[in-house]
Structure 1
Amino acid sequence: MILSEKKISKTMDFLVNKMGWDSKMIASRPSVIFYNLENRIIPRCSTVHFLFSRELIKKKEVKLSTVLVPTEKYFLEKFVTKYEKQVPKLYDFYQGKIGIEEL
């Protein structure tokens, strides 16, 4: 599969500028660029970013590969189900059914 320059740019922009991940970290796991931005990268990163903002997890303890590479089941267990008591609507947020203001 060949990636377009536009897709690479959009993905890098999101990961570096919106999420604050270091470009060197992304370069060490270039396979993450192949993931679908709208269906995998944005939902997972937005969920983790929310957890950072509530100080439920610390950014330095979470690697990019831990967020984007694992299976859906693993991601949900580690970053959604684990925090359902503190944030009951986190799964709905992850699925894009509600906005961050509704959490």
Structure 2
Amino acid sequence: MLTAKPERVREIVACAEGLGVPRGSGMFRAALQAVSPLNEEKIATKLECLKKTFRWSDAQVSHAVSKAPGLLRKPKEALRHRSKFLISDVGLEPAYIAHRPVILYYSMEGRLRPRYYVLKFLKVNGLLDQNRDYYNTTALSEMAFVEKFICPHKESAPDLAEDYATICKGELPTNFRFT
């Protein structure tokens, strides 16, 4: 942006503000970075892609992009993959995702899928005492997640730590059972 012509900088600022990100907010810089390589047509195409992929209303798209402008830089295929997993497999509602769009930044193989499998395993085996909010479990640091969901079950599920490590490598462990 520093080498761009002043007219282009004004366009970029207007686009960022058009996404609903106020100039004084901490997200404004991220919005500038997200829209700077794009023109208005590409931004409109990306917004339409988000709308179709996540089954969001215009208001939900606006809300999600204002909270996570980097979604405009995500490839369509990555967004489709996350949508399928979060909506079909995990069972999240589109509105839930729209209000927590940061979840779409997390790695599928390194965070979203492994933590889903751990929660599913714990629920199926009666080891999770209450229904946990999926976003809150994905937002935890790795150390906090392990301390809260793996370590307490060392005796009742001795293979859980090893299984979690295997899942984080992108492999489904053979001894991971949902019985």
Match in the other structure for 1:34: 105
Question: How far 1:22 sits from its partner (Å)?
Answer: 2.4
- Bigger Rg, which one: 2
> Structure 1 residue 47 and structure 2 residue 118: aligned?
yes
Structure 1 segments of 4+ aligned residues over 4 angstroms from their partners: none
* Conservation of the 8 A alpha-carbon contact between 1:25 and 1:64: no
* Conservation of the 8 A alpha-carbon contact between 1:16 and 1:22: yes
> Structure 1 residue 21 and structure 2 residue 95: aligned?
no
Question: How far 1:17 sits from its partner (Å)?
Answer: 1.2
* Conservation of the 8 A alpha-carbon contact between 1:32 and 1:68: yes
Gaps of 5+ in 1: none
Q: Report sequence identity in percent.
A: 23
Question: How far 1:21 sits from its partner (Å)?
Answer: 2.4
* Conservation of the 8 A alpha-carbon contact between 1:35 and 1:41: yes
Question: How far 1:39 sits from its partner (Å)?
Answer: 1.2
Match in the other structure for 1:94: 164
The whole-number CA distance in structure 2 between the counterparts of 1:22 and 1:84 is 32
Question: How far 1:32 sits from its partner (Å)?
Answer: 0.7
Question: How far 1:61 sits from its partner (Å)?
Answer: 2.3
* SS at structure 2 position matched to 1:78: helix
* SS at structure 1 position matched to 2:128: coil
- Give the count of matched residue pairs: 101
| CA RMSD across the alignment | 1.9
Q: Given the two structures, how large is their TM-score scaled by the length of structure 2? A: 0.52
Match in the other structure for 1:77: 147
